[in-house]
Structure 1
Amino acid sequence: MTGTNGLFVHRRRVAWWDTDAANIAYTARFPQWCMEAIEEWFLDRLGIDWYRLNHDMNMGSPFVHMSMDMRSSVTPRDALDTTVALKQAGRSSLAFELVGRTVADRRVSFEGRYVCVFVDRDTGKARDIPECFRAAVAREVALAAGVRGD
Structure 2
Amino acid sequence: MAFTVRRRVRFEHCDFAGIVFYPRYFEMLNACIEDWFAERLGRSFGQIHGPDGHAVPTARIEVRFTAPSRIDDPLELTLVPLRLGRSSLDLEITVTSGGETRLVAASTLVHVNKDTGRPVAWPEGLRAAIARELEGEPGHGT
TM-score (norm 1): 0.87
Distance of 2:106 and 2:9 partners within structure 1: 21
CA shift, 1:143, in A, is 2.2
Secondary structure class of the residue paired with 1:138 = helix
Alignment counterpart, residue 113 of structure 1, candidates 106, 112, 129? 106
Query: In the alignment, does 2:10 pair up with 1:8?
Result: no
User: Which residue type is aligned with residue 124 of structure 2?
Assistant: E
What is the CA deviation profile of residues 102-123 of structure 1, one whole-angstrom value per residue up to 9, with x for unaligned ones?
A: 1xx2111110011111111232
Runs of 4+ residues over 3 Å off in structure 1: none
Deviation at 1:55, TM superposition (A): 0.8
Structure 2 CA distance for aligned equivalents of residues 33 and 54 of structure 1: 19
Matches within 5 A, 1:122-133: 122-133=115-126
Of 25, 50, 53, which aligns to 1:55? 50
Give the alignment's TM-score, normalised by structure 2: 0.91
**2:29 aligned partner:** 34
Report deviation, 1:67: 0.8
Task: Output the CA distance in 1 between the equivalents of 2:128 and 2:117.
Answer: 25
Secondary structure of the residue aligned to 1:56 is coil
Residue 138 of structure 1: CA displacement? 0.9
- Partners of 1:117 and 1:128 lie apart in 2 by 9
Q: How many residue pairs were aligned?
A: 137
Q: Structure 2: any 5+ residue segments left out of the alignment?
A: 138-142
RCO higher in 1 or 2 (8 Å CA, sep ≥ 6)? 2
Given that 2:43 and 2:126 are in contact with CA atoms closer than 8 Å, whether structure 1 keeps it comes out as: no
